[in-house]
Amino acid sequence: EPEVTQTPSHQVTQMGQEVILRCVPISNHLYFYWYRQILGQKVEFLVSFYNNEISEKSEIFDDQFSVERPDGSNFTLKIRSTKLEDSAMYFCASTRDLSYEQYFGPGTRLTVT
Amino acid sequence: AQSVTQPDIHITVSEGASLELRCNYSYGATPYLFWYVQSPGQGLQLLLKYFSGDTLVQGIKGFEAEFKRSQSSFNLRKPSVHWSDAAEYFCAVGAKAAGNKLTFGGGTRVLVKP
C-alpha cells in the first residue's frame, strides 16, 4: 500500500540554524500539507500546498517557514533560522482530492538546542 | 472557523470494558470528521472517517463513531477495549470549502487497566 514517507525521522539542530524537512507524498496525490505537534499538545495545521503554490497558511507559518516541491516527488518544509519553540514533531500529509482523507507520514521530530 | 473540543483529557478503562470518547465540533456547514490514534512517539493512524451518508461509521480495530448533526458531535466507541488500545485519540474536522485543512481537538489519552 502506498504511504507518505518523511526524512529524517529525528533532527537535532542548534538555534539559528536552517533545517529542511523532507516528505515524499503518495505519487498520484495533488494536495500537500504540513502540520506540527509540540510535545504533549494537539496537532496544528501549518500550510497547505496545491499546484505549486501555497493554498493556505496558519498564523504559525511566518516568514521563517517556506515550502517547496522541488521536483515531482519531494515536498519540503524549510525553517530558516530555528528557535527553541520550533521543537516539535512535524507531519506531512497528502491527498489526491479534497473529498478524500489525508494520509499522514510518520513525522520528523525536530529538536532545537 | 473550524474548532474541535474533546472534553476528556484522560480516560481510564478496564480491559474488556466499553469505551466512548467524546468529540464536539464547530463548523458552519457539514464537515468531514475523522478520528486518529497516536501511540507514544508514533505518527497518526486514521481509525475512521465521515464524509457523508450513513451517520454510523465503522473503522479499523473494532471502532465505530456516530455523527449527530443536532449535537455537533462525532463520538468514538468500542464495545470491548484491549490493552493495545492504550494511546492518544484525536478527533479532527475538515471541509472541502476550507481546502480540507484539518483542525484537531486536544486529544484524549486512554489508559487501559488489566
Q: How far apart are CA B11 and CA A113, in angstroms?
A: 34
Residue among B43, B100, B101 whose CB faces A107 most closely:
B43
A77-110 pLDDT tens trace: 999 999 999 999 999 999 998 888 899 999 999 9
d(CA A18, nearest CA chain B) in Å: 24
> What residues are paired with B66 via a beta bridge?
B56, B75
Residue A70 banded pLDDT, cuts 50, 70, 90? confident
pLDDT of residue B5: 96
Q: Which three cell numbers stand for residue A81?
A: 533560522
Q: Which residues does A23 contact at the CB level (< 8 Å), separation at least 6?
A: A4, A5, A6, A32, A34, A74, A75, A76, A77, A92, A94, A105
User: What is the interface size between A and B, counted as CB pairs within 8 Å?
Assistant: 55
Strand, helix or coil for residue B62 = helix
Q: Which residues does B78 contact at the CB level (< 8 Å), separation at least 6?
A: B18, B19, B61, B62, B63, B64, B85
Contacts of A95 in chain B (CB under 8 A): 100
Residue B107 banded pLDDT, cuts 50, 70, 90? very high
Q: Which residues does B106 contact at the CB level (< 8 Å), separation at least 6?
A: A41, A42, B5, B6, B9
* A54 contacts chain B (CB < 8 A): no
What are the backbone angles phi and psi of residue A86, rounded to the nearest 5°? -80, -10
> What is the pLDDT averaged over residues B92-99?
84
pLDDT of residue A100: 83
> What is the pLDDT averaged over residues B14-25?
97
pLDDT reading at A2 higher than 90: no
d(CA A73, nearest CA chain B) in Å: 21
> What is the pLDDT averaged over residues B68-78?
96
Q: Which residues does A100 contact at the CB level (< 8 Å), separation at least 6?
A: none
